[in-house]
Amino acid sequence: MYELIKSDPSSRARLGKVTTTRGVIDTPVFMPVGTQGSVKALDPRELLEMGTQIILGNTYHLNIRPGLDIITAAGDLHQFINWPKPILTDSGGFQVFSLAKIRKVKSHGVEFRSHLDGSLLFIGPKESMHIQKVLASDIAMVFDECPPHNAPAKDLKGAVERTLRWAAECRIQPRAAGQFVFGIVQGASDARLREHCAKELVAMDFDGYAIGGVSVGEPEPEMMKAVEYTEPFLPENKARYAMGLGTPAQIVELVARGVDMFDCVLPTRVARNGTAFTSKGTVSVKAGFNKSDFRPIEEGCECYACKNFTRAYLRHLLNVNEILGLRMVSVHNSHMYMQLMVNIRKALAGGYFAEFRKEYAATYIPTLKVLSARNVKPE
């Protein structure tokens, strides 16, 4: 499934590829989030044009709406949403964290009260894997327990043990044809728990491994520690996925720490609030200083928004609540993330990733006080 092409001598960064039945994914890769079967404000054509290789869907949300009957009638999730390339499905484990007020964790799974109507819904390892089998995603995630970063030590240990027990059960469930399954390492920023969880999951021999329990409200240094505590215990011949991350600057640093795959709702979420990512930091397109600025969001950007519209026009659209405004900023942000990954891969292939990393850290100024968006409501 994963092929290591080149390692960076200055860091843990890797250039590689993941081969699925629906295509090859060049890594490091960013995966736009389509929680409910759609990447917010973007259509499949736009995603393909900007070079998107894989998108995400969410087991919990798709199971509630539109439901498995509808998706089965369409064929599978790919056919239902008209997406020809790979899809990764989150297992519903993150909702154990994000919907903590309406769920009860039990030994064999989690009992939810639907966030829509309060009806009872149970998801455990068998249920999660069955849903993902019906969705026919190319990469399915094991059902895990994602605890808060500041949970007491006893609760963290319990979450890790449940995650391992549920992972073993997920491992033996039926899969869709060609479907890969990734294990998820939990343990917050506890080095011993991270090592223990990683080693136990590796012994189960999953197709790839995710670093979970990050971007759940912890400070950025703690996030980096969680990755650093986990990555050394993951096999070099398997893909590594940091769940729910991150900002452009974080992605560069996490690539340097050996991560291959990323997802985050930030590109489209902040776009809907009028904020654009650029290679040098963020800019508020809605701000008054753009009222008569007839430059694009970012000079030299090849996205449709920058090639066709000015900051002044986009600001006008956003301030009068025209849908085109938020769509175009979403196009720009998503394109910017895709181009970042292209540039990272080029730097790794060309042997100048160390210089790229140093320059990015020196010139990227995060004017937006957001570390990631996985600790708030889903897309």
**Are the beta carbons of 125 and 166 closer than 8 angstroms?**
yes
User: Exactly one of 90, 138, 144, 190 is catalytic; which is it?
Assistant: 90
Tell me how far apart the alpha carbons of residues 62 and 69 are, in angstroms, rounded to a whole number.
11
Instruction: Name the residue among 243, 290, 286 with its Cα closest to residue 263.
Output: 243
Catalytic annotation present for 205: no
**Residue 267, SS3?**
helix
**Residue 362, SS3?**
helix
**Residue 232, SS3?**
helix
Tell me how far apart the alpha carbons of residues 306 and 190 are, in angstroms, rounded to a whole number.
44
Provide the pairing of β-strand 55-58 with 29-32.
Answer: unpaired
Provide the pairing of β-strand 208-211 with 180-185.
Answer: parallel
Please count the other Cβ atoms lying within 10 Å of the Cβ belonging to residue 19.
Answer: 13
User: Exactly one of 8, 190, 260, 263 is catalytic; which is it?
Assistant: 263
Angle between helix axes 153-171 and 125-135 (nearest 10 degrees) is 50
72: exposed, middle or buried (Cβ count in 10 Å: 0-12, 13-18, 19+): middle
Structure tokens at 77: 């999730």
Catalytic annotation present for 69: no
Active-site residue list: 90, 263
